[in-house]
Amino acid sequence: MLVETWTEDRIASATQFVAERISADFVETGLTIEFRIDPQWSGVDVSRGPESVVAVRGGHEFPLHLEGGTEQACWYAAYQMQDDVMGEHGRPWPELVDNSGGYVGVLSLPGEPPQIAAWELAGQPFCAVGHLQRACAAAGLKIKSL
């Protein structure tokens, strides 16, 4: 059973958990992300709850939706970051290739938040968000360089 109370410590821990997973997957993209509390996103100036956590990547800011849980937050942040990578580099990412450089496919995130935030390959689960680099290595695949 999940605890419904969001203390400052819980918000900080959940935000750090999401940050570590996102950073692990996007390490080779050259994009960075930071998280901060911005009560104006929730529309209540005094609120410092989970709905006030905002992700910032360059000039792109978006609410993390931490109030939906860490898996939803990981999914949403990865979805936004994937869009930013593709927009900045003008091509699909992450594109998987085999050891000889042969095309395998492009990973995607489901259009709706899943129970576990996960990358998909051809509509099938590939790995949880936060494990992309290691999952590729374990599968004998590489992410094509940007």
Q: For residue range 41-78, list pLDDT tens digits in order.
A: 555 555 667 888 899 988 889 999 999 999 999 999 99
Which residues lie across from 103 on neighbouring strands?
A: 97
- CA-CA-CA-CA dihedral for 86, 87, 88, 93, to nearest 10: 0
User: Which positions ≥6 away from 84 have C-beta within 8 Å?
Assistant: 31, 57, 58, 60
> What strands lie across the sheet with 95-98, from one edge to the other?
124-128, 118-121, 103-108, 95-98, 141-143
The whole-model pTM stands at 0.90
Q: For residue range 93-121, list pLDDT tens digits in order.
A: 999 999 999 999 999 999 888 899 999 99
> Could you tell me the residue ranges of all domains in the chain?
8-143
